[in-house]
Amino acid sequence: PQFYGMNTNINTREIMKTSRMVSNYTGMRVQPNKAIVGENAFAHEAGIHQDGVLKHQSTYEIMTPESIGLHQSRLVLGKHSGRHALKVRLKELGYEIDGDALNQVFARFKDLADAKKNVTDADLEALIADEFHKPQEIFRLEDIQVTCGTMGMPTATVKMINAVGESIIHAAVGTGPVDASYKAIDAIVQAPNVLVEYSVHSVTEGIDALGEVTVRIESNGKTFGGYGADNDIVVASVKAYLAALNRMLAVQGYGAQKPEGNAATIAVSSNS
């Protein structure tokens, strides 16, 4: 850099590499909040900061990350992030979401961010799948409460809203919290089926990770799948089971709900 017409010959792009080299040799970790070379020096989580940086980097950064050897700034998605940062990251992941849909996703995002420190890309993709790639809701989960442990019997109390807006509450006992929840739902929905697959895995790492559940149920020779994601694995399990049930009821029909029937087709006549 040039100061007062003099050249220092300092290559500032080597600052970050030099800091890491010294840290490795000495065994002393650089504090995350250390100026310039700290992990959080070019990271922004507050919504107003993220919005400002997205509009113009110099708003909150007096130097560019490239000038010290970094590739770019980091916008950390967390509980303080705003709609603008979320929309930009979703677009980078291939999801063009705006208007009411963005508000819907943002509300779910804030709930998730309140439950865990940082939200990962895998969390966002699971959230999108859970929010938009689900069938028509004939039955909707309103609330669930479970009790389980080494003493007593696992019990689940489920409150659901049916197709006409009625609230139905039922409690059931099972071999575990998920089994009890499914039995309570079956008592409300009363749509016979066989659970043929139940799969659960963690989307991200850590105790606050988002859990994904996939189920498959079978009825009248047909198989229906459901997916659910939540921080609470029991809630994720219930969401997945309800998604599969709603898909089954949409196909078979339920009450005043007519069956979906076969796929729509267009008759094409050959020219004579």
145 and 62 both lie in a single domain: no
106 and 204 both lie in a single domain: no
pTM over cut 0.75: no
The reported pLDDT for the residue numbered 237 is: 93
Q: Nearest 5°: phi and psi at 107? A: -65, -45
Rg over alpha carbons for the chain, rounded to the nearest Å, is 26
Inside any domain, residue 258: no
The CATH code of the domain that includes 18 is 4.10.430.20
Distance between CA atoms of 238 and 152, rounded to whole angstroms? 22
Inside any domain, residue 198: yes
Cβ burial of 98 (10 Å; 0-12, 13-18, 19+) is exposed
Measured torsion, CA atoms of residues 133, 139, 141, 145, in degrees rounded to the nearest 10: -140
Average pLDDT per run of 10 along the chain, which is 272 residues long?
68 76 70 70 61 62 66 62 78 79 81 69 71 72 90 90 90 93 94 89 68 86 83 90 88 64 40 44
Inside any domain, residue 267: no
The reported pLDDT for the residue numbered 147 is: 92
89 and 174 both lie in a single domain: no
Distance between CA atoms of 205 and 137, rounded to whole angstroms? 31
Helices 83-92 and 47-55, axial angle in degrees (round to 10): 60
Which range marks the domain in which residue 63 is found? Answer: 9-75
148 and 210 both lie in a single domain: yes
244 and 144 both lie in a single domain: yes
DSSP the chain: -EETTEE----GGGHHHHHHHHHHHHTPPPPTT-TTTSTTTTEE-SHHHHHHHHH-GGGT-SS-GGGGT-S--EE--BTT--HHHHHHHHHHTT----HHHHHHHHHHHHHHHHHSSB--HHHHHHHHHHHHS----SSEEEEEEEE-SSSS--EEEEEEE-TTS-EEEEEEE-SSHHHHHHHHHHHHH----EEEEEEEEESSSSTTPPEEEEEEEEETTEEEEEEEEESSHHHHHHHHHHHHHHHHHHHH-BTTBPP--SPP----PPP-
The reported pLDDT for the residue numbered 133 is: 58
The CATH code of the domain that includes 202 is 3.30.160.270
The reported pLDDT for the residue numbered 54 is: 62
Q: Provide the domain count of the chain.
A: 3
94 and 122 both lie in a single domain: yes
The reported pLDDT for the residue numbered 173 is: 93
Inside any domain, residue 110: yes
Inside any domain, residue 269: no
Structure tokens that stand for 267 in this block: 């008759």
